Chain A
Amino acid sequence: QQPVQSPQAVILREGEDAVINCSSSKALYSVHWYRQKHGEAPVFLMILLKGGEQKGHEKISASFNEKKQQSSLYLTASQLSYSGTYFCGTVVFNDYKLSFGAGTTVTVRA
């Protein structure tokens, strides 16, 4: 039930945009996004509960397409502080526990 994230890694210059994708083979109840910096605990970014819903956290937003069981995280005008590993976590109907993807490592360079 582990979701699949892509790409595995992305390198950006400050101000550039990036998209991280998360997909599941199961019908999803919700999608959770976390960011983890090296040696630190994962930090919650946002939860998406409804189809087509979009949310934002600073200049980071996400969408959830429940028909395709996919979510995308959008990093807009990236800042150095956006560097880290982004994990999507998915909750499947009738299971209700959070399963994390393998993560996408984002490196933002000056």
Chain B
Amino acid sequence: EAEVAQSPRYKITEKSQAVAFWCDPISGHATLYWYRQILGQGPELLVQFQDESVVDDSQLPKDRFSAERLKGVDSTLKIQPAELGDSAMYLCASSSRRLTGQGGEQFFGPGTRLTVL
């Protein structure tokens, strides 16, 4: 069964350092999402890609976060510099539907748990 792949699974870093997370969506899925999930809360959308284009990044802290999906396949989310408040689970999801409102199921990857010391 096709799955969304993410790496690393765990990352521990010191504040002010740079970190990067990688996501490989299910083959053929045009839509890719990055979510942040703080312990005890639901996932919060950071950025949504449609192929290689950003559709929504209104919740992305652009002073320190960046995301790219250069060839419309895999994606990288970067934080520079990391802050203590960035400690969370970063989830990647993909969907075959082009718009969330069309009812497309989102398939989530296992996530990267980030701890900032």
Q: How many residues of B contact A (CB 8 A)?
A: 21
Within the complex, the shortest CB–CB distance from A53 to chain B, in Å, comes to 11
In contact, A102 and B110 (Cβ under 8 angstroms): no
In contact, B108 and A42 (Cβ under 8 angstroms): yes
- Is there a chain A Cβ closer than 8 Å to B87's Cβ? no
Return the chain A residue nearest B101 by Cβ. Answer: A96
- What secondary structure prevails in chain B residues at the interface with A? loop
Bound-state CA distance A103–B111 (Å) is 18
Q: A97-B45, A103-B42 are in contact. List 10 more A-B contacts (CB 8 A).
A: A40-B110, A41-B91, A41-B110, A42-B91, A91-B101, A96-B101, A97-B48, A98-B45, A99-B45, A100-B44
In contact, A41 and B100 (Cβ under 8 angstroms): no
Q: Which of B41, B45, B106, B111 contacts A44 (CB 8 A)?
A: B106
